[in-house]
Amino acid sequence: MSRKQLALVIDLNICVGCHACVTSCKEWNTSGWAGPMSDTDPYGADPLGVFFNRVQTFEAGEFPLTETIHFPKSCLHCEDPPCVPVCPTGASFKREEDGIVLVDYDKCIGCKYCSWNCPYGVREFDTKQGVMKKCTLCADRIYDETLPEDRRKPACVLACPAGARMFGDISDPASEASQAIRDNAGFQIMPEMGTRPANHYLPRRKTKMVIHDDELMRADNPLLKEGELPRPQLSEPFLDDITSW
Amino acid sequence: MKPAFSVLFLTTLIGMGQGLLIALVAGQFYFVIGTGNEQDSGLFYATGSAAGLALLGLGLIASFFHLTHPERGMRSIVRWRTSWLSREVILLPACMGLAFLYGAAHWFGFAPVLITFGNQKSLDLTMAIGFLLAASCAMLFIATGMIYACVRFVKEWATPMTVINYTLMGLSSGFAAAAIVAAVENALLRDFLAGWAALFTLLAFAAKGVTLWRNKHLPAPFSLKSAIGVHHGSIRQLSQGFNCRSFNTTEFFTRISPEVKPWLIGLMLVFGFAAPSALLLAGWADRYLPALIAALPIQYVGLLTERWLFFASGQHVQNVYYQRKS
Ligand code: SF4
Ligand code: SF4
């Protein structure tokens, strides 16, 4: 774990499913130099468009004991990405310097074979440009020195109003992302697929507070009376070996 | 998975072409190791090679319809170290080039002896090209099959049976095509080719049966537990995040109604295997020409159905995330 690996850490305990990351991702990436994320029939009956990030919603349990889980999903920038070696043109690649998995739109022939080799369903084909697209971790803004330093983060991370998304180098144990994974039992999805996803999720945590009766009622007040206690006799046991009152 | 017609035609046509070319080489070799006195005419081999070349060429054209940027097609050879798709792209033109050389050498009767062995047998140029041709066609079968067999997220495909099926169906239809060429050309190889075509069709039938049985007993393709990492016994999707279509809901799904599916499987088994093997056997044993000729088009309908079902019944792991719109 020495090579740099940028990734997102998404806290499922915080995500409220507002889709702000979805819209800001689309806005940023459709306006960038890589060309639009095409939509067909966007306001019609059968719209079809490219998104890098989607928020899905799941429910666990049986009514009334149910729990709603909002689940944002984008390319996980796997450390062992099965989508990369299968690409015949080399258009799909994993960047050495920061571990981001990218598609070179100028090389892609549109065979879609990479998407078959991703178990997470996060690559989306742009039918207008005829190339495969996916999350770039905002490769075009995280290094942009014209932006103030605290803005050099993926658009989704900046947009999240609840602060459910973190971004950082998970191979650096001191990074905020690594610490969050360590301290909050961060996990990978579908670990059995052997893809070693870089993006991690933080589990839902039950924030219950246990209040015992004696915390509401004073246990050291047997007479249940408030106010000054009766003055002890000199012969009674005392508190500090010096005085009984 | 969604079947793309370009890929259905590509895989069935080149399979038949490879089988046909292997059949020609096998036939030539059969004579060479035999008495050595009999041999079919150069014209027969040249016609057969031309037919094989045409089938591979049609497949190649079909493949271009699958790409959105065919003008960049040449780029697709660069990842040959890791990508079976890349290997297929290299092997297909290699087979076509060798088929052209093989046919041309036979056409012009250009067959200088390269090596003479101790037993008075010799290896001439046409046979040598033939061996190379057969080897590259065999490798192309493996490459085509492996393109699907190595997709480990589609359990129906990720089995050696995929490669075996592609190869056997290619050999079966290819030998049947070669038998037709032999019948038209009145070649001596006709019975040899028809007999092997029938045998390969029966073998392909058996392999398909094994695969159907295997795929019926697959474990569940995915679990929501590991998909979202929530360890709960009862999880369901409430929303996939959008109300209409996306690439992920179109490319990976084909709905076949449960009433239609058995009929399609029946059509595939009868047209693809049972009927052609019976017809080929009739053409082989009784030398009944119409049966021999009818086998191939009937089988082709069956093979297209087979390929369509192959794609349509593949369940991709990613489908776990796209179960419900809202
Ligand atoms: S999530 Fe899918 S597309 Fe992204 S790196 Fe992993 S396998 Fe490739
Ligand atoms: S669609 Fe493009 S990026 Fe994907 S495998 Fe084909 S050429 Fe590579």
CA A10 to ligand 1 centroid distance, Å: 16
**CA–CA min distance B250, chain A (Å):** 10
Whole-angstrom distance, CA of residue B202 vs CA of residue B173: 11
Please report how the helices B190-216 and B5-33 are oriented relative to each other, as an axis angle in degrees rounded to 10. 140
Identify the burial level of A227 via C-beta atoms within 10 angstroms of its C-beta, where 0-12 means exposed, 13-18 middle and 19 or more buried: exposed
The mean per-residue pLDDT over the stretch A30-54 comes to 93
> Is the CB of A130 less than 8 angstroms away from the CB of B84?
no
Query: Which tokens in the block code for residue A148?
Result: 């103030």
Q: For residue B294, is it within any domain?
A: yes
Q: Residue ranges per domain, chain A?
A: 6-202
Closest ligand 2 atom, residue A123 Cα: 4
Query: Which tokens in the block code for residue B323?
Result: 């179960």
Name which residue leads in pLDDT, A245 or B272. B272
Whole-angstrom distance, CA of residue A140 vs CA of residue B218: 43
What does the pLDDT look like over B147-197, one tens digit per residue?
999 999 999 999 999 999 999 999 999 999 999 999 999 999 999 999 999
What pLDDT is attached to residue A239? 64
Q: Are B81 and A87 contacting, i.e. CB atoms less than 8 angstroms apart?
A: no
Q: Are A44 and B215 contacting, i.e. CB atoms less than 8 angstroms apart?
A: no
pLDDT at B121 over 60: yes
- Judged by phi (left if over 0) then psi (alpha if -120 to 50, else beta), residue A227 lies in left
Residue indicated by tokens 């144990």? A173
Whole-angstrom distance, CA of residue B36 vs CA of residue B51: 26
| Contacts across the A-B interface (CB distance below 8 Å) | 162
The domain that holds B296 is classified in CATH as: 1.20.1630.10
Asked if the C-beta of B247 comes within 8 angstroms of chain A's C-beta atoms, the answer is yes
Cα B151–Cα B156–Cα B159 angle in degrees, nearest 5: 65
The mean per-residue pLDDT over the stretch B268-275 comes to 98
Amino acid at site B139? M
Query: What is the number of domains present in chain B?
Result: 1
Q: What are phi and psi of A53, to 5 degrees?
A: -145, 135
Domain that holds residue B12: 5-321
CB-nearest to A116 from B79, B151, B319 is: B151
Q: Are B62 and B6 contacting, i.e. CB atoms less than 8 angstroms apart?
A: yes
Query: Which tokens in the block code for residue A224?
Result: 């249940």
Cα A88–Cα B253–Cα B11 angle in degrees, nearest 5: 45
Q: Considering only alpha carbons, which residue of chain A is nearest residue B225?
A: A190
Whole-angstrom distance, CA of residue B190 vs CA of residue B199: 14
Q: For residue B326, is it within any domain?
A: no
DSSP-assigned states of every residue in A46-100 = S-EE--SEEEEEEEES-TTS-EEEEEEEE----SS-TTTTT-SSS-EEE-TTT--
The 3-state DSSP class for residue B219 equals coil
The 3-state DSSP class for residue A165 equals strand
Q: Whose CA is nearest to atom 6 of ligand 1?
A: A78
Does residue A64 have a cis peptide bond before it, meaning omega lies within 30 degrees of 0? Answer: yes
The mean per-residue pLDDT over the stretch B116-127 comes to 88
pLDDT at B36 over 70: no
Q: In this prediction, what percent of chain B has a pLDDT beyond 90? A: 90
Asked if the C-beta of A51 comes within 8 angstroms of chain B's C-beta atoms, the answer is yes
Residue ranges in chain B assigned as alpha helix (H): 5-33, 42-64, 84-107, 125-149, 160-185, 190-216, 224-228, 247-250, 260-269, 275-285, 289-312
User: Confidence band (pLDDT; 50, 70, 90) for B287?
Assistant: confident
User: Which residues, at least 6 apart from B79, have a Cβ–Cβ distance to it below 8 Å?
Assistant: A85, A86, A87, A88, A89, A90, B85, B86
Rounded alpha-carbon distances, angstroms, from residue A24 to A52, A53, A152, B97, B324: 11, 10, 15, 52, 24
Query: Which tokens in the block code for residue B8?
Result: 């259905």
pTM: 0.90
CATH 3.30.70.20 applies to domain A6-202: yes
What value does the CA radius of gyration of chain B take, rounded to a whole number of Å? Answer: 22
CA B76, B81, B85, B91 dihedral sign is positive
What does the pLDDT look like over B96-111, one tens digit per residue?
999 999 999 999 999 9
Whole-angstrom distance, CA of residue A52 vs CA of residue A126: 11
> Is the CB of A88 less than 8 angstroms away from the CB of B224?
no
Q: What is the mean pLDDT of chain B?
A: 95
The mean per-residue pLDDT over the stretch A65-92 comes to 97
> Is there an atom of ligand 1 within 6 Å of A9 CB?
no
Closest ligand 1 atom, residue A77 Cα: 5
> Is there an atom of ligand 2 within 6 Å of A139 CB?
no
Rounded alpha-carbon distances, angstroms, from residue A71 to A117, A191, B152: 22, 17, 24
What pLDDT is attached to residue A229? 65
Q: Considering only alpha carbons, which residue of chain A is nearest residue B246?
A: A48
Task: Name the B residues in 44-73 with CB < 8 Å from any A CB.
Answer: 66-70, 72-73
User: Which residues, at least 6 apart from B235, have a Cβ–Cβ distance to it below 8 Å?
Assistant: A58, A59, A60, A69, B224, B225, B228
Whole-angstrom distance, CA of residue B149 vs CA of residue A172: 37
Whole-angstrom distance, CA of residue B310 vs CA of residue A52: 29
CA A4 to ligand 2 centroid distance, Å: 25
Q: Considering only alpha carbons, which residue of chain B is nearest residue A124?
A: B247
